[in-house]
Amino acid sequence: MKSNLQAVSVGKLGMDRKMMMGYLGVLIFMIGDGLEQGWLSTYLTQNNMTVQEVATLLSFYGIAVAFASWLSGVLAEIYGPRKMMITGLVLFVLGTLVFLTVGIPTMNLSVMLPTYALRGLGYPLFAYSFLVWITYYAPAERLGTAVGWFWVSFAGGLNMLGAYYSSFALPILGEMNTLWSALAFTTIGSIFGILLCKTDIEKTELTIKQALKQITKGITIAFERPKVGLGGIVRAINTAGAYGLVVFLPAYMIDSGFTMSQWLQIYGALWASNVVFNLIWGAAADRIGWQFTVMWIGGIGCAVSLACLYYFPYFFGANYLLTITAAICFGSCLAAYVPLSALVPSLAPENRGAAMSILNLGAGLSTFLGPAIAGALIGSLGASGVIWAYIAMHVISTFIMIFVKLPKDVQQEQLSAEVAPAH
């Protein structure tokens, strides 16, 4: 009886009870992956790396993330999500071991680039393979909510809990030991996500030729279904600016009068609101429309709130309340892009894995684009020029979304039909 009550309670929240351990696994794994996000660049520059070298390291990492993100959807479809999640764990561990034992101690960029990139290959294979799992398992009418829960887990670990954990761990453990502790989180997360998640999709037995065809499909689907390709572009824009901020905004905030502690609180608040609103906008979009949510709340909302995040300190100095409010608004608007994870696969229902590969590629590219744009423009245009480049990108995403929509008859079917879970 108790089990049935738990299932009903969890079901009302839009999360299938059988998938709960998977969501928890992604959350814990991403804490390990994201614990250095808010401070690694500062630590490296304090140890004689230049800002340009740090931007290069983060951009190279972003390329690896983008590559693994693109492959994750199709590979999960071919070999099964569990197997690809295991692969992601192994790559993350190997990359971390070499990066921490050789790369950072020597501060040799030629060693740090490939080892940090190897680490970057790991998390997309782990997390985005689970996202493919969700798109096959969740009923169509609850898909927006289901992927909302995924992004709660993903962003909650990567961007919020990882940062808050570091704020407590750094004074006690120091930078290197804090980095080493990432392995504990990823191992525990993998136990929950791989071993304890109770459901699965059927394994597809394919020949090498068929597998290569499926991988190729992860590219060609963007041209066969142009709306899928456009959705991938919008996803790349989604978090590009947010990931690029860490290259230059901490210095800007400190120059504006904030302390490092205040900046970390502002940054944490940004991602905390993102975590909450990932679920809110995921559920709301099932009612008010996936396209509408991405266009107006995501695109325009991000453009306005990002401008506020930069210009409030510029005009009002170190006004903590105003700035943290702007950060919270920006984080919540970033979450309004969540319905892309429901909309894009629904544009190619017969090739959901390939469609997710395009979407995941966009997500991965954002980790490259943000730092790359900052590195390219910060010297000539300054922080304001980089911010306006990010603002323009969000406005462009709104325009692109005019063309990314389901046919009305298909949309109605998606929202109303009762679809049995795939196994």
Sequence-ordered list of residues with C-beta below 8 angstroms from that of 375, at least 6 positions apart, any chain:
51, 52, 55, 56, 59, 247
pLDDT tens digits, residue range 209-247?
A: 766 776 777 778 888 888 888 998 999 999 999 989 988
* DSSP state for residue 35 in the 8-state scheme: T
* Mean pLDDT, rounded, of the chain: 82
pLDDT tens digits, residue range 135-185?
A: 776 666 666 677 778 878 887 888 788 877 887 888 889 889 999 999 999
**Mean pLDDT score, 24-43:** 87
Q: Name the residue with tokens 């409030």.
A: 312
Q: CA torsion, points 219, 222, 225, 229, in degrees to nearest 10?
A: 160
pLDDT at 156: 83
- Residues of the chain with pLDDT > 90, as a percent, come to 31
- CB 193 within 8 Å of CB 29: yes
pLDDT at 198: 60
- Whose CA is closest to 395, among 266, 312, 307? 307
pLDDT tens digits, residue range 57-102?
A: 988 898 888 888 777 777 777 777 888 899 999 999 999 999 999 9
Map out the domains of the chain with their CATH numbers. 20-196+205-416 (1.20.1250.20)
- CB 300 within 8 Å of CB 410: no
For the entire predicted model, the pTM comes to: 0.75
Distance (Å, whole) CA 342 – CA 154: 16
Query: Using only C-alpha atoms, what is the Rg of the chain?
Result: 20
- CB 95 within 8 Å of CB 117: yes
Distance (Å, whole) CA 74 – CA 70: 8
Task: Round to the nearest angstrom and report the end-to-end CA distance of the chain.
Answer: 25
- Whose CA is closest to 48, among 111, 117, 104, 119? 104
pLDDT at 399: 94
- CB 64 within 8 Å of CB 125: no
* Number of C-beta neighbours around residue 7 at 10 A: 14
CA 333 and chain centroid, separation: 14
Q: Phi first, then psi: give them for residue 79, nearest 5 degrees.
A: -105, -10
Number of H helices, E strands in the chain: 19, 0
